[in-house]
Amino acid sequence: MRFHPSYSSLNLALGLGAALLGLTAISSGAFAAPAQLYGKSVTVSWTENRMQTTDRSATPVSKTASAQLSVYVSDKGRAFSRVSMTVDRGRRGSASGQRDAVQGEGSARSVNFSGNSMTVTAPRGDAGALMVRVTFDSGFAGCSARVISGKSGGAGFTRVHSMVTGGTYDMYSIQASGESCSIQSGNVFGN
């Protein structure tokens, strides 16, 4: 699978292609959360600069969105995740939406762990994918993150059903930047 080169300068061999193939795979022991993350939440925030159609324009326009991924690892090692987006709508202000997923309950979003890293992958529209790769420090007290959005080779765009507006849009490019990562004790979603 090839990806649009403007989506990221990160070496895509890190696993976006492989992640796409494993989106529906069931986690095995090799992908289990490390005990150091039990009862903790990991939050990654980033900005997306997009070229996309909108409900007011069939011609692609530049849009900016603020995104956040939150993952809570239960005391039994089960991953709960939420992706949130806030989109700038110009003079109409901003609008937000979110999608929740529980590992192993039919969601195509996948949360996998290996050593001191966590990789979250999810399909994005009919020809795209999102990958968030988190690297933890040696004590699992801090983290850094890298976000990649890609689309399959040959696809001019990916058709996405918006979690914000409920509309269907064509995304031609998505460039993520400004990634930040934090870890906190407890369930970020509340109980």
Structure tokens, 174: 């998505």
Lowest mean pLDDT among 88-92, 115-119, 137-141, 186-190: 88-92
Please provide residue 18's backbone torsions phi and psi, each rounded to the nearest 5 degrees.
-65, -35
For the ranges 47-61, 146-160, 170-184, the one whose mean pLDDT is highest: 170-184
pLDDT at 56: 83
- Distance from C-alpha of 48 to C-alpha of 130, rounded to nearest angstrom: 12
* pLDDT recorded at residue 5: 34
pLDDT at 118: 97
The predicted-structure confidence for 30-46, as pLDDT tens digits, reads as follows 478 999 999 999 999 99
User: Cβ neighbours of residue 151 under 8 Å, at least 6 residues apart?
Assistant: 3, 4, 7, 124, 125, 127, 128, 129, 157, 158, 171
Q: Phi, psi (5° rounding) for residue 185?
A: -75, 145
Which pLDDT value is given to residue 175? 95
Tokens standing for 17? 């292609």
Nearest to 137 by CA among 42, 45, 47: 42
Global confidence as pTM: 0.82
Percent of the chain with pLDDT over 70: 83
User: What is the per-residue pLDDT for 1?
Assistant: 31
Measuring CA to CA, which residue among 35, 69, 71, 67 is closest to residue 162? Answer: 67
Decide: 50 and 162 in contact? Cβ < 8 Å: no
Angle at 13 between CA 7 and CA 18, to 5 degrees: 95
pLDDT tens per residue across span 105-164: 767 899 999 999 999 999 999 999 999 999 999 999 999 999 999 888 888 999 999 999
Q: By C-alpha distance, which of 22, 40, 51, 65 is closest to 134?
A: 40
